[in-house]
Copies of this chain bind each other. A is one copy, B any other.
Amino acid sequence: MYVTRKADYAVRCVLHLSKYPEQVVSVNDIAKAMHIPKSFLAKILQRLVRKNIVMSIRGVNGGFQLSRNPKDINLLEVIEAIQGVTAANICALDSKKCRLSSTCSVHPVWVGIRKEIEKRLREWSFSRLAEAKR
């Protein structure tokens, strides 16, 4: 599993929105707060809208807000919304991609790692993240 900048920005973005629930925040504001190139973020938000994680309000004073309670959105969901399902090794994603997977003793290691990562990412809801202290 490798997290692209795009997915990383998406996470930051949702995290920011989680801190201002019910409020409408513009792309510009999110971009400045989270250090994300504005037009790139706009693209990312389009995708989050389609995936029903965020909703958009057009026109003057428009912007974005979460379409669900942050407790019902987790890290895994946001990352997969942007980059699709991934794994550290393609063999853990699709054993057909690997001619050896049925006999290879490394295969179960990758599958185990994938499950562990997904479990951890699923455990972190954005309400939990927003509350977390550093």
Given contacts A1-B2, A8-B91, is CB(A75)–CB(B106) below 8 Å?
A: yes
Task: Determine the distance from Cα of A108 to Cα of B133 in the docked complex, in whole angstroms.
Answer: 10
Q: Assess the B3–A134 pair: CB atoms within 8 A.
A: no
Instruction: Count contacts on A: residues with CB < 8 A to the other chain.
Output: 37
Q: A75-B109, A100-B12, A105-B134 are in contact. Are A117 and B120 (CB under 8 A)?
A: no
Copies of this protein chain in the complex: 2
- Beyond A35-B99, A109-B75, A109-B121, whether A134 also contacts B8 by CB under 8 A is no
What are the residues of chain B within 8 A of A3 when measuring CB–CB? Answer: 88-89, 110
Could you tell me if A134 and B11 are in contact, using CB atoms closer than 8 angstroms? no
Q: Is A44 an interface residue (CB 8 A)?
A: no
